[in-house]
Amino acid sequence: MNGAEVARRAFREAFGGEPELISRAPGRVNLIGEHTDYNQGFVLPVAVDRAVWVALRRREDRRARVYSANFGQWTEFDVDSPR
């Protein structure tokens, strides 16, 4: 099962129904130069075989409810005043 399928399945189990969007952010490791690139410094990032997958669906109440399948934990917050 690929990452998108895992995200879809976790979303169904956590929230019921289907997500509107599934997206992936690839992982990387900074060997040198973290936070120096925007100061014209040198960097050496390397791609890794890990990624973060998210499955999303809009809500009407201006709240975000987030579930981590890796940690089995929930959090919820108001999108107009996140902490």
Report the candidate in 61, 66, 75 with the shortest Cα–Cα distance to residue 11.
Answer: 66
What pLDDT is attached to residue 65?
93
**DSSP structure class, residue 13:** H
- Distance in angstroms (rounded) separating the CA atoms of residues 8 and 10: 6
pLDDT of 17-34, one tens digit each? Answer: 999 999 999 999 999 888
Residue 66: the pLDDT is 94
d(CA 68, CA 73): 5
pLDDT for 39: 86
Stretches in the chain below the pLDDT threshold 50: none
User: Of 4, 17, 12, whose CA–CA distance to 54 is shortest?
Assistant: 4
Q: Say what the pLDDT of residue 52 is.
A: 95
- Residue 58: phi, psi to the nearest 5? -65, 155
pLDDT score of 79? 92
